[in-house]
A and B are shown apart, each in its own frame.
Chain A
Amino acid sequence: MTRILIPSGALGLGYDAEALDRGIAAGPDIIAIDGGSTDSGPSYLGRGVSKYARSSTKAEWKGLVAARARAGCPLVIGTAGTCGTDSMVDWMADITRECLTELGLSARIATLKCEQAPAAMAAALREGRITPLPAAPEVDAEGVAACSHIVALAGTEQIAAALETGAEIVIAGRTTDTAIIAALPLMRGDHAGAAWHGAKVGECGALCATHPQTGVLQLDIDATGFTVAPLAPQAACTPQTVAAHMLYENSDPFILYEPGGHLDVTRATYTPQDSRTVRVEGAEWVPAPAYMVKLEGARRAGFQTILLTLVRDGRYVANIRDWCAQIEERHAARVAARMGLNAGDYRLELRLIGVDATLGPLETAAPAAAEVGVLAIVTAATQEAAQDIAKLLNPLVLHHPLTPQEDQPTFAFPFSPPEIDRGAAWEFCLNHVLRLDDPMSAFRLEVHDA
């Protein structure tokens, strides 16, 4: 049996300190926590930075580093710093050394780096070692080479290699959410289906329980299945909450692809053990003939400037689309005449907040608000161009009249200047897998004593 303590769904979200202490007292074999996800968008991977503040990352990690020393078991973080780039592994290692120094502790640290050189991945695409997954974007070798960062998602093999170094703290770059949890039970010979299924159920911490924001979860994986319970007393796992977690952020709630195979939970059974603990058996791990790791890549997609105008005049609200169409036409002519740029050189969108800003052409409800926010989004090749294009828009969204003979109207700008530079825009450009002959060949493992 392997006992895994999961403090929360991600480092930076916070965890219940008393529940963590309860978990430490129960003698875990490992403490595992996720550090990231693609869920917040491509900018973090594009720039190689963390979503969460360094201060909250450090405060929470310090608590876990101290708890690990009390428990005498390894502590592992996957997808360090939101995106799991090499820069974020180094960032997390620096934070770890600061925590150890401040706590008067020492530890052996293993770092696992997952970043792939864009030029090497472009070559792998040409050689047919990279293949697309369903709904992958069209991308050629040149597009892959243009990525600022590409990471490969490590599986349990690479986490096991890190644990085998005897490291007390493992800082991994991009991993699958499940790998950091499933690795140790697989190393110890627990049931493979149970290890992966338990890892999927537990990867978001107490999100598979009631009171999900308490965070802390205990997962016992053994020879036939797994047992799961939250550690905050007010929270409870029920067969419903545990089974339902397989729905969360999964396009298929029964099949989960991982490096080296897939998990099939079609035949899993969920049985209550008491009012807050659930026993799960019946999941299967199906090994694949080839070892594949998923790739994530992000590249710059121009620069953006945004500008917000508020329209409160009832006649303009009622005719907002016509007003926007007139502005777009006048603006395009000005950009062409004054900057020499044509439609294909930049992108302008007037997004109507209060009309269809969330759903766009899919919206089915009729707008009912007294006002409309017109959010102009300019995307261009450089920040200077985006700023200039937005400045050419400024007098139009401030004063454009619906009809030429009427008095010049004025609309509400909440800011001065109204143009707000957003910096670079980023896009994900890979939903692909890379075939590896040796699982470690795309990853770099180092051990440091600190």
Chain B
Amino acid sequence: MPEIGQIAEKVRSKNAGPFWVTIDIFCGNDAAFRRIAAGLPTATVAALFHTTPDAIKRFDIADLAVVKFSLPRPQIQGIAADRDMHGAGWGPLVAEIEIA
């Protein structure tokens, strides 16, 4: 099965303030958007982040062919246990999810 990063144009993650991270999947076209929106359950993303689906805000934006997820950061930005000051590393994690 292909990875999301092979179907979508771009997957990025970024801080949304010090306490949230947001992940944008730019699908690139309608067909890719429909495939990713239908093939990527919120529960899969939640499991990847060791959290529950109700902790995740999801936006399927057909006009932009974007699927977006926002969730509290796994670690608050900048504390000793945080590994990624700008929240850049979670995008690749999502890009590597395999879907049908």
Q: Specify which chain B residues have a CB less than 8 angstroms from the CB of A361 in the assembled complex.
A: 50
Contacts of A368 in B (CB 8 A): none
Query: Distance in Å from the Cβ of B62 to the closest Cβ of chain A?
Result: 12
Q: Which of B48, B70, B77 contacts A252 (CB 8 A)?
A: B70
Contact status of A42 and B78, CB under 8 A, knowing A362-B50, A365-B96: yes
Number of A residues with CB within 8 Å of any CB on chain B: 44
Contact call A249/B77, Cβ cutoff below 8 A: no
What are the residues of chain B within 8 A of A133 when measuring CB–CB? 19
Task: Report how far A357 CA is from B15 CA in the complex, Å.
Answer: 18
User: Contacts A38-B17, A247-B24, A253-B68 known; A358 to B84 CB distance under 8 Å?
Assistant: yes
Task: With CB as the reference atom, state the residue of chain B lying closest to A43.
Answer: B78
Pair B85/A250 contact, Cβ less than 8 Å: no
Contacts of B14 in A (CB 8 A): 248-249
Taking CB atoms, residues of chain A closer than 8 Å to B93 are: 359, 362-364
| B18: contacting residue among A42, A349, A360, A379, CB under 8 A | A42
Across the two chains, which residue of chain A brings its CB closest to B20?
A251
Task: Tell me if B15 and A249 are in contact (CB < 8 A).
Answer: yes
Of residues 211 to 261 in A, which have CB atoms within 8 Å of B's CB atoms? 240, 243-244, 247-254
State whether the Cβ of A431 lies closer than 8 Å to any Cβ in chain B.
Answer: yes
Q: Across the interface, which residues of B come within 8 angstroms of A357, CB to CB?
A: 83
Q: Specify the chain A residue showing the minimal Cβ separation from B23.
A: A247
Contacts of B96 in A (CB 8 A): 364-365
The 8 Å CB contact of A428, one of B50, B57, B66, B76, is: B76
B22 touches A359 (CB 8 A): no
Any chain A CB within 8 A of the CB of B41?
A: no
- A243 nearest CB neighbor, chain B only: B64
Q: How far is the CA of A244 from the CA of B68 in the complex (A)?
A: 11
CB < 8 Å neighbour of A301 from B16, B24, B80: B80
Cβ of A314: which chain B residues have Cβ within 8 Å of it? Answer: none
Indicate whether A343 reaches chain B with its CB closer than 8 angstroms. Answer: no
Binary CB contact string for chain B from 66 to 93 against chain A (1 if under 8 A, 0 otherwise): 1010101110111111011110011001
Chain B window 5-45, contacts with chain A (Cβ cutoff 8 Å), 1 for yes, 0 for no: 00000000011111110101010000000000000000000
Contact residue among B26, B61, B78, B89 (Cβ-Cβ distance under 8 Å from A427): B78
Would A41 and B85 be within 8 Å (CB), given that A248-B14, A428-B76 are in contact? Answer: yes
**Interface range for B:** 35 or more
Contact A247:B85 (CB < 8 A) given known A38-B17, A364-B48, A428-B77: no
**Cβ-defined contact, A41 with B72, below 8 A:** no
Q: How many A-B residue pairs have CB under 8 A?
A: 103
B85 CB to nearest chain A CB (Å): 5
- From A38, A135, A247, A360, B68 is in contact (CB under 8 Å) with A247
Alpha-carbon separation in the docked complex, A426 to B73 (Å):
17
> Given contacts A250-B16, A364-B96, is CB(A359)–CB(B90) below 8 Å?
yes
B49 and A362 within 8 A (CB):
yes
Cβ of A251 and Cβ of B89 under 8 Å apart?
no
Whose C-beta in chain B lies nearest to the C-beta of A360? B83
Chain B nearest Cβ from A51, distance in angstroms: 11
Selected from A251, A304, A365, A425, the residue in CB contact (under 8 A) with B22 is A251
- Assess the B76–A351 pair: CB atoms within 8 A: no
CA distance A302 to B79 in the complex (A): 11
Alpha-carbon separation in the docked complex, A277 to B8 (Å): 27
Contacts of B72 in A (CB 8 A): 134-135
Is A359 touching B19 in the complex (CB atoms < 8 A)? no
Cβ-defined contact, B17 with A431, below 8 A: yes
B54 at the interface (CB under 8 A from A): no
Residues B84 and A38 in contact, CB atoms below 8 Å apart:
no
Closest chain-A Cβ to B42's Cβ sits at a distance in Å of 15
* Closest residue of B by beta carbon distance from A428: B18
Complex contact B80–A249 (CB within 8 A) = no
- Note all chain A residues with C-beta closer than 8 A to B16: 249-251
Neighbouring A residues of B76 by C-beta, 8 Å: 137, 427-428
**A391-435 interface with B by 8 A CB criterion:** 425-428, 431
With a cutoff of 8 Å between Cβ atoms, the chain B residues found around residue A363 in the complex are 93
A325 located at the interface, meaning its Cβ lies under 8 Å from any Cβ of chain B in the complex? no
Q: Smallest CB–CB gap between A266 and chain B, Å?
A: 11
11 chain-A/chain-B pairs, Cβ below 8 angstroms: A40-B85, A135-B72, A249-B16, A251-B20, A301-B80, A357-B83, A358-B84, A359-B83, A359-B93, A364-B96, A431-B17
- Residue ranges of B at the interface with A (Cβ–Cβ < 8 Å): 14-20, 22, 24, 26, 48-50, 57, 59, 61, 63-64, 66, 68, 70, 72-74, 76-81, 83-86, 89-90, 93, 96
Closest 9 CB pairs of A and B: A251-B70, A358-B89, A135-B72, A41-B78, A251-B16, A42-B78, A135-B19, A428-B18, A251-B20
